[in-house]
Structure 1
Amino acid sequence: MDTSFLSATILLILITDPLGNIPLFISALKQVKPERRRRVVFRECFIAFSVLLTFMFFGKGFLEVMHLTDESLRVAGGVILFLIALKMIFPGEGGHGGNQLSGEPFIVPIAVPLIAGPSAMATVLLMSTREPERILEWVGALTLTMLVTLLVFLFSGRLQKLLGEQAITALERLMGLVLTAISIEMLLGGVAAYIKKLA
């Protein structure tokens, strides 16, 4: 699957799913004073960006140490994305609102795993190892994704009031549908590459 800068950005936005995460994000910030919320949003987005950037730059070395192939990572990435997509389309009971926090959230659950979850880590790892010569494009796509996430979280209260719970749920399921197709494409690409390698 050829990945352009635009498709990489869209893929990362779909995986981080800022719109779908609005209810959990608002719930996580309930105990935070209104005047501190903006600072918390900036801090958590920066931490998530740093985590994903680390995976992007040191992913190849990690794969070599663990003796993992590109094909296995593509298949694993496809499976993870498929499971994430299924949860987006068929959310379980209490999926978003289950975590009630006391005090100010730090790293968990907003930065990790809400933004920089396993699927996002696997995706940036896959992007950087498949085409390391395009690393600046992938950094740009990740930066743009973080800016979108930052803006959505900064205006999460207004967006929730403007769109309503039903519209946000519908958007999340639509994103899940697109992500399902992407995950299947990634999975098939990994299997095809492995079969070609054996032949």
Structure 2
Amino acid sequence: METSFLSATILLILITDPLGNIPLFITALKQVKPERRRKVVLRECLIAFVVLMLFLFFGKSFLEVMHLTDESLRIAGGVILFLIAIRMIFPSEGASLFSGKLGQEPFIVPIAIPLIAGPSAMATVLLLSTREPSRMLEWAGALTITMAVTTVVFLFSGRLNRLLGEQVISALERLMGLVLTAISIEMLMGGIASYIRHVGSAG
């Protein structure tokens, strides 16, 4: 299945899940002075953007060094996305990774990594870059739009949380999780089918 620019953008937004991460983001910034929060948001989003861009442009070289195939990456990416989607649909109560950092201003961890540039986002940009490397500018554009959306959502996270309420945000996160589940299954089946064809042709 060919990935379009729009579908890649939507996929990346679903994976980074800015709306669903609003409660965790607010918790991570709870002890940061209000006048510092905008700078922290911009800094952390920029760091996450740079990290994902590095994975996008240098991911193929990394896979070659590790002797990993496109099929294995697609299957692994599908599994990771499926696990992330299940957690979005059935969220756990604990958030110890974020609650343990309340006494200081967050730097890189936990907002930039793993809240924004988590394993699933890294695996997805790797997958995009290895499947269709000729469209790197498109993937870079999709990632740029995704990070712009994430930055705007985080900048207005307090207002959105008050406006929508926790129940609406939770419902939206579950809806995104449902869509992401279907995407992960499609990715997983595509990787398995490609592997079977590869083995068949080799035999």
Please indicate the TM-score interval, normalised by the length of the shorter structure.
Answer: over 0.9
User: Which runs of 5 or more structure 2 residues have no equivalent in the other structure?
Assistant: none
Residues 23 and 96, structure 1, Cα contact 8 Å, conserved in 2: no
Cα distance change, pair 129–79 in 1 and its aligned pair in 2 (3 A) = same
Letter in 2 for 1:106: F
Please tell me the residue identity of whatever aligns with 1:13: I
Q: Quick one: percent identity of the two aligned structures?
A: 78
Match of 1:134 in 2: 135
1:81 aligns with: 81
**CA offsets 1:75-132 (integer angstroms, 9 cap, x no match):** 0000000000000000112248862321100000000000000000000000001100
Q: How does 1:18-57 map to 2 (within 5 A)?
A: 18-57=18-57
Deviations 1:132-157 (A, max 9, x none): 00000000000000000000000000
Q: Aligned residue for 2:149?
A: 148
2:110 is matched with which residue? 109
Match of 1:160 in 2: 161
8 Å CA contact 2:48–2:116 kept in 1: the answer is: yes
Q: Distance in 1 between matches of 2:70 and 2:96?
A: 33
Task: Give 1:58's aligned amino acid.
Answer: F
Moved over 6 A (4+): none
Q: Where do 5+ consecutive residues of structure 1 fail to align?
A: none
Report the CA distance between 1:2 and its aligned residue.
1.2
Letter in 2 for 1:39: K
Aligned counterparts of 2:55 and 2:97: Cα–Cα separation in 1 = 28
Pairwise CA RMSD: 1.1
Question: In structure 1, how many angstroms separate the alpha carbons of the residues matched to 2:96 and 2:14?
Answer: 17
Measure, in 1, the Cα distance between the counterparts of 2:75 and 2:96.
27
- The answer to whether the 8 A contact 1:51-1:116 is kept is yes
The whole-number CA distance in structure 2 between the counterparts of 1:96 and 1:136 is 37
Size of the aligned set, in residue pairs, is 199
- 1:17-75, CA deviations, whole angstroms, 9 ceiling, x for partnerless residues? 00000000000001111001000000000000000000001100000000000000000
Preserved CA contact (<8 Å) 1:23 1:97: no
